[in-house]
Amino acid sequence: MSKLKIGDTAPAINSVDQNNESITLDQFKGKKVVLYFYPKDMTPGCTIQSCNLRDNHKVLLDKGYVVLGCSVDSPERHVKFIGKYDLPFSLISDEVKKVVKDYGVWGHKKFMAKEYMGINRTTFIIDEKGIIEDIIEKVKTKEHASQIIN
């Protein structure tokens, strides 16, 4: 798939959330969606990013946004992550890696001279009609909400 860009129609999502209930992007038509992809539940950077969105959730809601996180973690792991950090939004479980590949965030990564495949931290802002309004590739985990709002 070619790289997504602003103005493209957001790829469909047909997955499950932390409660193992069906979740689709179509459920949110008519609302602005913040769809953030992060590497792994319970890791330092992902926790900081998710907690920043939690702490600014009311501001995001007031601006008309629905927040959805997505990783390849299981629904059970998402439940623990949400419970431990009191996250007020749904997390998409993409264990089959369809959503992360459709959005182009699954790719090569390097850490401590080791190469592996994983999620490249990226956030998509999707408008009420399902069109990508913005893409944040240089996510600042400690101030991610302000990157979205500004």
Question: Which amino acids are annotated catalytic?
Answer: 46
Beta-carbon-side half-sphere exposure of residue 117 (alpha carbons within 13 Å): 7
Instruction: Name the 3-class secondary structure at 5.
Output: coil
Place of tokens 């600014």: 56
Instruction: Name the 3-class secondary structure at 104.
Output: coil
Number of neighbouring beta carbons within 10 Å of residue 116: 8
Beta strands in 13-131 (DSSP E): 14-17, 22-24, 32-37, 65-71, 90-93, 106-111, 114-119, 122-126
